[in-house]
Amino acid sequence: MLKNKFISLVVVMVLLIAVTSITLANSSAKMIGLGDNFVTVTGADALYGNPAAVNANADVFTLELGTDMKIWNNLLKNDYISSAEKKDLLSSIKGEGFFVGVTGRNGAKLIIGPVATSLDLKAEGVVRFNPDIARLVLQGNKIGKTYQFDDSTGSGAIYADGAVNLSVTGPEDIWDVEDLYIGFTYHQLAGTIFKVTGTGDLKVDYAADGGPKATSNGQFTVKYNPMETASDMAMGSALDFGTYARLNDTYTVGFSVMNIGAMTADSTRYIKYKYNYDSQTTDKTLQKTEEGRSTQDLKWRLPATYRVGGQMSYSEDITFFTDYSYTTYYTGEESYQDHQIAAATQLTWLSFLPLRTGLNYSTLENDFDWSAGLGLYLGPLQADLGVSDLTGLFNQTKDLRSGLTFKIEF
């Protein structure tokens, strides 16, 4: 029963992030359908994968509205987990911990020629729980066992992102390629940021009446900037840059560096929550024990991503994509790396109904994702839908991601 209560605590912490600060990366519906932010995808979608490819198509005007979200973890899946699987899962996260993350975006883009502007409301949060918490969630409480809250950390932000992108042609002759584009995006950021830290422990033992008894001095501390006035806002900036090269009619390659930046806040507050468990009623609570102003500045670093990939135009109707990315997530003072490998294809036998599917493997999530999507293109009016992870159809998914985009493009 205590296991269920502690799962509830994990859910509460995730919801705390989602409500107060819902990024690994923001994406578009087309990219979600393909399974990754491929560096060789062009147009408005390239703002999240490669700033050099934004202008690498024949369109001269784009107005787009879009939204996407993702919830993920590296431990739990939507299916019964056997005892053997639990041991394997716990072994797989032993060196990393139990990660839970949420990301989201709503916004608009305007592209005219080589210049693009965007305004997004973005949200991002990642929490790393101590591996003891993962054991409690999967295996339940064991009598005499102490579960540590220490080393549980998290951070994130909810913020407005105003960006300007410029992508221009480069010296094709020097590099002996058909087309070469170089681009960058500058982001101005403003909003609220947070940091979560865990301390203490939870111990389960027998009470005098023979029933379970839990004693806890475990607590979570949340630091944030309150946004009471405009001067309280966390401010920052970020930079993306990349290159895009079409080698010939068949092959295209690209490289990008995304999210190099941070946000800081001078005016900060803190709240401490203690985890309480009543052995008699089995009620659990997160009790606010202390709050006040903090004398320390707060800083949040965006998850920096390095990406390289290629594209093969197999025929007029079949295109293959492949990508490798290296992302660093910051959960406070600590940082964690994620390597992702992705492959996808787009089928355009019906030009007005492009179909997409892709596979993605993440070392941090320790999971394969299967994505799919489609578009509906009626002249300049276009809509895209992307969904992941479709392994959820077989009760094997650890995350959920979806996106929807509407645009006018010509």
Q: At 75, phi and psi to the nearest 5?
A: -135, -55
Domain count, the chain: 1
**At 248, which CATH number?**
2.40.160
Fill in the DSSP letter of residue 283.
Answer: -
pTM (two decimals): 0.86
pLDDT tens digits along 50-60: 999 999 987 78
Positive or negative torsion for Cα 53, 58, 62, 68? negative
- State mean pLDDT over 140-159: 83
Give the pLDDT score at 394.
61
Write the burial class of residue 95 (CB in 10 Å: 0-12 exposed, 13-18 middle, 19+ buried).
exposed
**What mean pLDDT is reported for the chain?**
85
Of 364, 393, 403, which is closest to residue 100 (Cα–Cα)?
364
SS3 353: coil
Model confidence at 358, in pLDDT bands (50, 70, 90)? very high
- Please give the Cα distance from 24 to 102 (Å, whole number): 9
pLDDT tens digits along 223-281: 999 887 888 899 999 999 999 999 999 999 999 999 999 999 988 898 888 876 665 65
SS3 201: strand
Range of the domain at 27: 2-409
- Please give the Cα distance from 297 to 299 (Å, whole number): 7
Contacts of residue 295, Cβ cutoff 8 Å, sequence gap at least 6: none
Give the pLDDT score at 208.
64
pLDDT at 5 over 50: no
Contact status, residue 370 vs residue 391, Cβ threshold 8 Å: yes
- Please give the Cα distance from 39 to 307 (Å, whole number): 7
Token look-up 């094709």 returns 172
Query: Which amino acid is located at 370 in the chain?
Result: W
pLDDT tens digits along 89-128: 888 787 778 888 888 889 999 999 999 999 999 998 888 8
SS3 282: coil
